[in-house]
Amino acid sequence: MLSKLDILRLLALSAMATTCAAQLVSTCFAAPSNPNDASGSANCTRFVNAFCDAEAQAVFNPDALLSQDMASRCFNMNDGLNRACHFNVVNTKSPDTVGTIPDNTNCKAGLNNLFTAPRFCDFGGKTSVAASNMIVSVAMAPGACFTL
């Protein structure tokens, strides 16, 4: 038999889980062609950590935290098919005031959410992470990354 304290703990955990799950709103750029096809943007997942650990955080440094600030990075797939993964993160906080800096966990969760059931966004997509005021996106494109 559960005590009142146990019931309260379960309710609190349930509310937290619901809140966290509702923070990620993902949209595919196009309907998945084949959710189990390894040739789609799911291959871009290997670059998620590098993007979130470096480029994405640059947008959210305290002296750069302005509305609509954005960071982008392109990664060559080097898979013999001449494809590249294009990542973006946008600060959606408004107005231009310093606020909570999103951490890598939110960036990674948002991007990885595009490649898990039921989405499997093999053409890429975007995720709004409402609690941290950011939108992350990834798309695979033919050709190599542009270099200067």
Please state the domain extents for the chain: 23-142
Residues 6+ apart with CB under 8 A from 65: 59, 91, 93, 98, 99, 101
pLDDT tens-digit map of 20-42:
444 788 888 887 766 555 555 66
Q: In CATH, which of 3.40.50, 3.30.40, 3.40.1000, 3.30.430 is domain 23-142?
A: 3.30.430
| DSSP-derived 3-state class of residue 38 | coil
pTM of model > 0.95 = no
The pLDDT value given to residue 36: 56
Evaluate whether 68 touches 142 at the Cβ level (below 8 Å): no
Measure the CA–CA gap between 82 and 100, rounded to whole angstroms. 38
Structure token pair of residue 27: 């949209």
Q: Are 95 and 138 in contact (CB under 8 A)?
A: no
